[in-house]
Amino acid sequence: MALLSGGSGHGYELKQAIEHEFGTLLPELNSGQIYSTLARLERDGLVEGEAVADDNRGKKVYRLTQKGRNVLQDWLGVPVPGARLKDGFFVKFVVATSVGLADPTDLIDRQRDEYLQSLRDLDARLASAPHGPTAELLIEGAVLHLKADLEWLDLIEERLARRSA
């Protein structure tokens, strides 16, 4: 929708715009995803499609409706919530350790392995092949989140040690 806010475009143009933005890091985009998304937006009255006059393949040019523009503005106006109080590992950790199902240190060790491996995966992706600045920022953000997650594991371990000391 944001890509349509500057004017109109058909599915293929949108596909190209997204590919341009995310660089060669992304494999070929699935056009089905784009068309099904546009169809859903049209059904909800957020975009309107107009058939191209001299095209018999049913090609359509899409533009934002006023309702679509409002929804887009609302979406942009609300900041993304900051606190992430849901964490899959922590649920496992609390549940398993409270009933003595698992050794807490063992759970932390295995989670740390996974985070370190994920960090390795992301660094390898950053180091490989040329890619656009947007994808690079996304990966670097994920790296920083992982580093925070690893620090959190250290903190949990430290608290555990202090409690058992």
Partner 1 sequence: MTALLEARGLSRTYDTGGAPVPALDGVDLAIERGEFVVVIGPSGCGKSTLLNLLAGLDRPSAGEVWLDGTRVDQLSETALARLRRRRLGFVFQFFNLLPTLTASENVELPLLLAGRRRRQARRTAHRMLDDLGIGDRADAAPSQLSGGQQQRVALARALANQPDLVMGDEPTGSLDSTSAGEVLGLMRAAHARGQTLLLATHDARVAAAADRVVTMRDGRVTRERAMQPSRPVTLPFDPDPA
* Binding site residues, partner 1, CB under 8 A: 18, 22, 25-30, 33, 105, 109, 112-113, 115-117, 119-125, 135, 138-139, 143, 146-147, 150, 154, 157-158, 161
CB of 51 to partner 1, least distance (A): 26
- Cβ proximity to partner 1, 50 vs 123, nearer residue: 123
CB of 124 to partner 1, least distance (A): 3
Half-sphere exposure of 6 (CA within 13 A, CB side): 7
- Cβ proximity to partner 1, 40 vs 147, nearer residue: 147
CB of 139 to partner 1, least distance (A): 7
Coil vs helix vs strand at 66:
helix
**130 secondary structure, DSSP code:** -
List the one residue out of 73, 6, 12, 70 whose CA is nearest residue 38: 12
- Cβ proximity to partner 1, 63 vs 125, nearer residue: 125
- Cβ proximity to partner 1, 66 vs 163, nearer residue: 163
Half-sphere exposure of 153 (CA within 13 A, CB side): 21
- The angle at the Cα of 130, spanning 125 to 131, to the nearest 5 degrees, equals 75
Question: What distance, in Å, lies between the first and last C-alpha atoms of the chain?
Answer: 56
- Cβ proximity to partner 1, 63 vs 112, nearer residue: 112
Half-sphere exposure of 163 (CA within 13 A, CB side): 7
CB of 135 to partner 1, least distance (A): 6
